[in-house]
Chain A
Amino acid sequence: MAYSFPEEVLEYVFSFINSDKDRNAVSLVCKSWYEIERWCRRRIFIGNCYAVTPGIMVRRFPEIRSVEIKGKPHFADFNLVPEGWGGYVYPWVVAMSRAYPWLEEIRLKRMVVSDECLELISKSFKNFKVLVMSSCEGFSTDGLASIVANCRNLKELDLRESEVEDLSGHWLSHFPDTCTSLVSLNIACLASEVSFSALERLVSRCPNLKSLQLNRAVPLEKLPNLLRGAPQLVELGTGAYSAELRPELLSNLFDAFTVCKELKGLSGFWDVVPAYLPAIYPVCNGLTSLNLSYATIQSPDISKLISQCQNLERLWVLDYIEDSGLDILATCCKNLEELRVFPSDPYGVEQNVALTEQGLVSVSEGCPKLQSVLYFCRRMSNAALVTIARNRPNLIRFRLCIIEARATDYLTLEPLDAGFGAIVENCRELRRLSLSGLLTDRVFEYIGKHAKKLEMLSIAFAGDGDLGLHHVLSGCESLRKLEIRDSPFGDKALLANAAKLETMRSLWMSSCSVSYGACKLLGQRLPRLNVEVIDERGTPESRPESCPIEKLYIYRTVAGPRFDTPGFIWTMDEEGNTPLGIA
């Protein structure tokens, strides 16, 4: 008992341990290690804001400097989670404002943030440095004004794809003239024009500015000056990349890019005029990340650009790249690790571009380091998937979206079970998988059998019945997040694998065949889960128990049922009573 190292020594040792997993393991060794660890943990990640309460967090970890919290389920990105679902960060900020006066960093994803919240942040934490809000909503540019005005040491303000009520661009002018601490500024999601002179002055007085992502309202003409004010930039998101064709602007831009020797990442490129693309040639060779997913340029222009970016590790692009462009990518970019191809015309019935499965096959052949794929296309074959799987057993993330739901193998007209089966069988390190196309229970058999490292699985319009879900829940040992829509999975598989749900972060099922009765049973059987029935048709009590519910969200929690559920969500009670929720 008295033979341990002095606490200070242990603390020092622990300070080198930064991964959450390791920290959690450390805290389980013995009580004294638990105590020491909890006092010296500085960073905390909360994957589900309802899995734990702010009070519990604050009580256990008194010295936190950096918090990351996630709210809504992933399918909220596709409008499957109704408005008002929850994910409010306010209670967290209130608790932290009292407990963590030295908090420096807040990172949020899919949470609802209000202007009051932002103001509270700006006034509560004297040393506040980093605010990242990814896919958040609920605040306006007024809230941003409070942050930039009051946080004297602000280093990062990153609004990634958040939905901001854009009242005006005036907020940017609230940065005090004395602010020189900015390292990262991402306002790409905002629509309003900010004051260009304020922006230029801000940029040029922050010597550590490494990442600047402008919004579309910043015209191309302003870019050369901004770049000259920040030649040390590592990441740049342009504004609108179009202007009338003027040779002097082109050469001005070209010269400005020449000065940016550190530039590794480029994005933006709204409204691209291809004639201005040569301006970025000076930096192409150094680029590791290129996001052209807003650039409506054609394959020849894309290809020309890509062929100069031999060191590219990450490419996000529209399907205008076509198979021909992907061939060039496969030839030229041998360091490619991540590829995302987005659809230019997702709702069109006809194929508008010559992008097929062949493009992905080419990249899988040509790019030995490819590990992360997101690919939208209109046709696929088992043969292609098998080829991809054999070419790239090092895949970690594979998300394939064949735009037509339940599309078959276009060559053999069969389901795509064999193809995805090959993926999970060959890619042993696969952590994330999204399925599409026509799929039977067979694919889930393969997944359950082979996908032992799979952590996140997304299923849509797939499977034949409960057996499919059973395969997944019983076979995928590492599964943390499962999201399913419009698939015929029902009660049996869920009930048979109820205990599995406690080992996962969350399960989402919408438009499936889960009955209200089964949900009640689950809620009863597993008190450490919140079983939330989402149904906009009114209380499930008004329908027979065997009636399927609309949506279901199950997650493990030590916080008990939440009290901020809107009227269309019912949390199943432990006692099996009429569920909690507003009737």
Chain B
Amino acid sequence: MEEGFSRRGLELRLAPPGDQEHSLACSKTSTNFTKHTFQEKDHDPSLLSLGNSYSTITTHSACSGSKRGLDKSWLNESQTQTHKFLYYDQQKDLDLLPGMKKESSQSKGLVSELHKTEKQQAFSPDASAVKNTAGPNTSHKRTVPAPVVGWPPIRSFRKNIASNTSTKLKVEPKQEIVAPPHKSANEKQVESCCKGLFVKINMDGVPIGRKVDLKAYDSYEKLSCSVDELFRGLLAAQRDPSDENIQNQEGDTLITGLLDGRGEYTLVYEDNEGDRMLVGDVPWHMFVSTVKRLRVLKSSDVSSLFARGNKQSKNSTDAALIQ
């Protein structure tokens, strides 16, 4: 999803424990800083550095990207820490700007004082140019950051939109929408009015297929959820034909594990070369550009495919899969 990240690749990070949030926040700029002011050292941000170096190297899990809120706990910590982190190339900013007016309580001296104290300012979260003295070599997993008051800046009545429930209504309780709101599987597929990428999708045990617009998704996860939505009701109807309940889908079993082999069903596709492939191996955009149709197969039929990258076994079971 975060293409920028896959391009930059993995980076390892030096930091003392508990510091990783701040470092994460600074790491990118520190990396940048190294480019600007330490050219002579020819820093490669992906290299591990020891000693009094300025490079910070960061571990990012490729699939989750760099999402981080602001963990306030380090705000107090870093006030007392000895090692601090490079934040931005201060040097360029400290030139006296021309044309600064002289006010009665202000002199050029005061302005240059502003510059001086910039460097010394101990304000923690955005400390000015400060050194990153080496700490112990640890890399940390990202933790979920603690929420910051009033950030992001939205009104309280907008806070729970994605999981909205009408708790105060005196009418019948409505469905609780927890995830992105895919509604009942009854809804007809809505065509986008401009071009979409519609591919057929068939499911084992369901005689009638559907079509999905792959342009409406940007990740495998979303596709998987959508497939669940599309077929859940139909599958349930297949199992119990007498159940014509079109209203409440909550009782149906979710179709899960489509991508990781753990569910009852697995999602596979046919690509532009006519080959059957397991969904999920390649980056999303590559998948979208090569997929021609989708199938939801019983996992028991494709169990030999679950060793990832095991293409040769795919070929041998292909014959068995073709229906």
Residues in A lying within 8 Å of B, measured CB to CB: 75, 77-80, 161, 166, 189, 191-193, 216-217, 219, 240, 242, 244-245, 270-271, 273-275, 293-294, 296-301, 303-304, 307, 318, 320, 322, 324, 327-328, 331, 342-354, 376, 378-379, 401, 403-408, 410-415, 434, 438, 440-442, 445, 458, 460-467, 470-471, 474, 485-488, 490, 492-493, 495-499, 513, 525
Contact = CB atoms under 8 A, between A and B. Distances in A.
B193 A410 contact: no
Contacts of A324: 192, 215-216
Given A440-B88, A474-B101, A304 B153 contact: no
Contacts, number: 245
Interface string B19-52: 0000001001101100000000000000000000
Nearest to A353: B180
20 contacts: A78-B149, A217-B171, A271-B164, A271-B174, A274-B187, A275-B187, A294-B161, A324-B216, A331-B194, A346-B158, A346-B159, A349-B68, A376-B152, A405-B25, A405-B70, A461-B125, A464-B87, A464-B93, A488-B126, A492-B110
Of the candidates A349, A403, A495, the one having the most CB atoms from chain B within 10 angstroms of its own CB is A349
Contact of B180 (A298, A434, A492): A298
B26 to A, nearest CB: 9
Contacts of A379: 2, 4
Nearest to A405: B70
Contacts of B141: none
Given A270-B166, A296-B181, A408 B29 contact: yes
Given A79-B150, A513-B123, 18 more contacts: A77-B155, A191-B168, A193-B171, A245-B186, A296-B177, A298-B181, A328-B194, A342-B161, A347-B147, A351-B1, A410-B4, A464-B87, A464-B118, A465-B121, A465-B123, A466-B118, A498-B105, A525-B105
B29 to A, nearest CB: 7
A293 B145 contact: no
Contact of A440 (B93, B153, B183): B93
A403 B152 contact: yes
Nearest to A412: B32
A405 B191 CA distance: 37
Contacts of A161: 155, 157
A351 B65 contact: yes
Contacts of A487: 126
B193 A307 contact: yes
B125 A445 contact: no
Given A401-B153, A488-B121, A413 B31 contact: yes
Given A297-B181, A467-B115, A461 B70 contact: yes
Contacts of A307: 193-194
A294 B29 CA distance: 37
Given A296-B164, A343-B152, A488 B193 contact: no
A405 B118 contact: no
A350 B118 contact: no
B218 A354 contact: yes
Report the 5 A-B pairs with minimum CB-CB distance, sorted nearest first: A78-B150, A354-B218, A488-B123, A413-B28, A296-B181
Contacts of B219: 354
Nearest to A469: B114
Given A244-B247, A461-B70, A488-B125, A496 B105 contact: yes
Nearest to B7: A411
Q: Which of B115, B127, B149 has the most CB of A within 10 A?
A: B149
A466 B161 contact: no
Contacts of A513: 121, 123
A30 B93 CA distance: 48
Contacts of A273: 183
B168 A192 contact: yes
Interface in B150-206: 150-159, 161-162, 164, 166, 168-171, 174, 177, 180-183, 186-188, 190-194, 196
Given A490-B123, A492-B117, A240 B155 contact: no
A387 to B, nearest CB: 17
A78 B150 CA distance: 5
Nearest to B144: A349
Contacts of A498: 105
Contacts of A413: 8, 28-29, 31-32
A301 B168 contact: no
B166 A216 contact: yes
B240 interface: no
B154 A303 contact: no
Contacts of B159: 346-347
Contact of A320 (B153, B180, B190): B180
B271 interface: no
Given A404-B69, A410-B2, A300 B213 contact: yes
Interface of B: 1-2, 4, 8, 25, 28-29, 31-32, 64-70, 87-88, 90, 92-93, 97, 100-101, 103, 105-106, 110-111, 113-115, 117-118, 121, 123, 125-128, 144-145, 147-159, 161-162, 164, 166, 168-171, 174, 177, 180-183, 186-188, 190-194, 196, 213, 215-219, 246-247
B110 A496 contact: yes
A441 B93 contact: yes
B45 to A, nearest CB: 9
A414 B168 contact: no
A499 B103 contact: yes
Nearest to B5: A410
A411 B171 CA distance: 49
Contacts of B87: 440, 464
Contacts of A350: 64-65, 67
Given A346-B152, A465-B118, A466-B117, A404 B68 contact: yes
Given A349-B64, A486-B125, A271 B194 contact: no
A219 B128 contact: no
A351 B3 CA distance: 13
Contacts of A438: 25, 28-29
Contacts of A77: 153, 155
A75 B126 CA distance: 21
Contacts of A440: 87-88, 93
Contacts of A293: 158, 161
Contact of A352 (B25, B64, B151, B180): B180
Contact of B169 (A193, A405, A411, A486): A193
B155 to A, nearest CB: 5
A403 B127 CA distance: 22
B6 to A, nearest CB: 12
A467 B186 CA distance: 59
Contacts of A193: 169-171
Q: Name which of A219, A406, A493, A513 has the most chain B CB atoms within 10 A of its CB.
A: A406
B151 to A, nearest CB: 6
A400 to B, nearest CB: 11
A408 B114 CA distance: 26
A75 B152 contact: no
Contacts of B174: 240, 242, 271
Contacts of A415: 29, 88
Given A79-B156, A219-B171, A240-B166, A298 B216 contact: yes
B216 A299 contact: yes
Nearest to B163: A345
A408 B117 contact: no
A82 to B, nearest CB: 11
A344 B114 contact: no
B270 to A, nearest CB: 24
A346 B154 contact: yes
A240 B67 contact: no
